[in-house]
Amino acid sequence: MEYSRVRPEDLAALASIVGASDVSNEEYDLVTNALDAFAGEPVLPEAVVWPENSSEVLEVLKYASSRRIPVTVRGGGTGLTGASTPRFGGIVMNMMKMNRILEVRPHDMQVDVEPGVIYDQLNKELEPYNLFFPPDPASGKSCTIGGMIANNASGLKAVRYGATRDYVLALRVVFPVGLDLRLGSRVFKYSTGYDLARMLVGSEGTLGVITEATLRLRPLPRHRRTIAAYFDSIEDGVRCIGRIRLSGIEPGAIEFLDRTHLRLISEWSGLNLPDHECMIILEFHSYSRAGLDEEVTDAVSLLREGGAVSIVVPKDEAEAERIWEARRGAYPSILKACRSPIIGDIIVPLSRLLDAVNKAYELAKKYGVRVGVMGHLGDGNVHANWLTDRRNRDEWERALRANAELTRYAIEVGGALSAEHGVGVEKKEFMWEQHREVLDLMKKLKEFFDPNNILNPGIML
Ligand SMILES: Cc1cc2nc3c(=O)[nH]c(=O)nc-3n(C[C@H](O)[C@H](O)[C@H](O)COP(=O)(O)OP(=O)(O)OC[C@H]3O[C@@H](n4cnc5c(N)ncnc54)[C@H](O)[C@@H]3O)c2cc1C
């Protein structure tokens, strides 16, 4: 598709919409809006705008559509798939100035926010109300609510509380076709036709720009407890996760780290974690202390029966925090170990979990690359992280092939090419295998809302 370049008169037109201080073509603004956390090639935009309200978003989109200038939407820029990379240059619409918490309605257990609110900041503001927004991505200190909705982000707590999709009640969305619409409803359930608000969840900025969101909230758990269990066999560790899921115990988090990750985290953090094949971390949430004690006792028995060689039940919050510190160290320790790792993200049905983990190790051997496996295994989400460096072209290509084969495997066994990081540019090539003829329907929807294909072109579809 042919796009227009941004000319000086376009910059002037954008300045008349958002104000001169909220549009830039300065080199440092272009560079800092060129790429997300994906290890791909950065592409410089030609201009950046920072809208402050829905009508500015609408006017920018209408103008760009009429001039056929591509617009790429950007939240915190923490995406791992290149989804906020301006593939064709044009304008980056940076949402960080729309960052107000509009209204907390504790009695409705809801909050209205603008899209640029940072995840951790929102939960900090909700704490006095004893409420929280659960999805909990590991990037929570920097990612925005808009980016989370556009990616259907989730994380540590999805196994019990679900993903972002489960919390989106209503959205205000601006579409390039020139519409500014409120979608969804401020109630927990409704039966009123097509669920257009949820259609935007996971759309990666390809259909419209989210300018407001109403999220449902959950009460903060009154009591929490963490357990860590170490195994000398991957098979024992993974099978234990299945047993816990089937037992009826409902942990708030079930995390898995293999030996490669344990060693990297130890080297990076100095935490000196025990050297075993794998570690499972469980967190329990409960209203009552007695209920919590019972769940923990039963889980410890299941872990023992399942072959755990060492189980740590922290005596206090500080000890529990050290365990979570180790888990949080996973990404930084990979980045320390290699310059440009390929962060994998697949999901498979629980019955294929062990197969999927073994497949990652098999592929590492086949392609002669290093892999570490971790993830939110409690819901089938496996992160196979390929430890490679882009500067070693040959190794990088082999790691890409290994990751591609694992992704195809996930699709073949009824899973998905991504559980939470999304498609972006990284996994676009697998969309046909994932969706087949439904992909055409998705493209028609895109055409309807964005007839000139200006919004996030080259991303996802
Ligand atoms: C260290 C690290 C750990 C991570 N851990 C997790 C994890 O545990 N779970 C997880 O799910 N993800 C994780 N991620 C990936 C990423 O942080 C999330 O997907 C996050 O939701 C992206 O939010 P963002 O604000 O940074 O969005 P961006 O990266 O800026 O954008 C992501 C997508 O959302 C679109 N978008 C942004 N704002 C809007 C809007 N207002 N309207 C329409 N579209 C919009 C963009 O165009 C793009 O397609 C991790 C990333 C890193 C770097």
Ligand 1 center to residue 163 CA distance, Å? 13
76 Cβ below 6 A of ligand 1: yes
Structural domains in the chain, sorted by start: 8-96 (3.30.43.10), 101-219 (3.30.465.10), 223-331 (3.30.70.2190), 338-438 (3.30.70.2740)
pLDDT of res. 40: 80
pLDDT of residue 1: 67
Q: In what order do the strands lie in the sheet with 47-49?
A: 23-24, 47-49, 91-94, 71-74
Handedness of CA 240, 421, 259, 407 (dihedral sign): positive
What is the Å distance from ligand 1's center to 12 Cα? Answer: 30
Per-residue pLDDT tens digits of the chain, which is 461 residues long: 699 999 999 999 999 999 999 999 999 999 999 989 987 888 999 999 999 999 999 999 999 999 999 999 999 999 999 999 999 999 999 999 999 999 999 999 999 999 999 999 999 999 999 999 999 999 999 999 999 999 999 999 999 999 999 999 999 999 999 999 999 999 999 999 999 999 999 999 999 999 999 999 999 999 999 999 999 999 999 999 999 999 999 999 999 999 999 999 999 998 889 999 999 999 999 999 999 999 999 999 999 999 999 999 999 999 999 999 999 999 999 999 998 899 999 999 999 999 999 999 999 999 999 999 999 999 999 999 999 998 999 999 999 999 999 999 999 999 999 999 999 999 999 999 999 999 999 999 999 999 999 999 999 99
Closest CA to 200 of 175, 233, 218, 224: 175
* Ligand 1 within 6 A of CB of 144: yes
Ligand 1 atom showing the smallest separation from residue 142 Cα: 26
Give the position of tokens 């440092």: 28
pLDDT at 339: 81
The closest residue, in CA terms, to atom 13 on ligand 1 is 137
The label of the residue with tokens 């690359």 reads 369
Contact 409, 357 (CB under 8 A): no
pLDDT value for 22: 98
Which CA distances in Å does 439 have to 315, 346, 429, 445? 51, 19, 12, 10
In angstroms, the CA 432 to CA 150 distance is: 20
State residue 27's pLDDT score: 97
Residue 344, amino acid: G
Q: Give the distance (Å) from ligand 1 centre to CA of residue 89.
A: 20
Q: What's the pLDDT at 265?
A: 96
Q: What is the CA(234)–ligand 1 centre distance, in A?
A: 30
Q: Which amino acid residue places its CA nearest to atom 50 of ligand 1?
A: 139
| Joined tokens for residue 123 | 């939960």
- From the CB of 33, is ligand 1 less than 6 Å away? no
In this prediction, residue 41 carries a pLDDT of 82
Q: Is 176 in the pocket of ligand 1 (CB under 6 A)?
A: no
- Spatial distance between the Cα atoms of 76 and 146, rounded to a whole number of angstroms: 9
Give the C-alpha separation, 20 to 166, whole Å: 39
| pTM (whole model) above 0.85 | yes
Q: What is the DSSP letter of 6?
A: P
Which of 48, 73, 96, 460 most suits a substitution to test ligand 1, by most atoms within 8 Å of the C-beta? 73
- 411 CB within 6 A, ligand 1: no
Place of tokens 């949402």: 95
Q: Which of 90, 59, 170, 65 is nearest to 73 (CA)?
A: 90
User: From the alpha carbon of 144, which atom of ligand 1 is closest?
Assistant: 25
Distance 217 CA to ligand 1 centre (A): 20
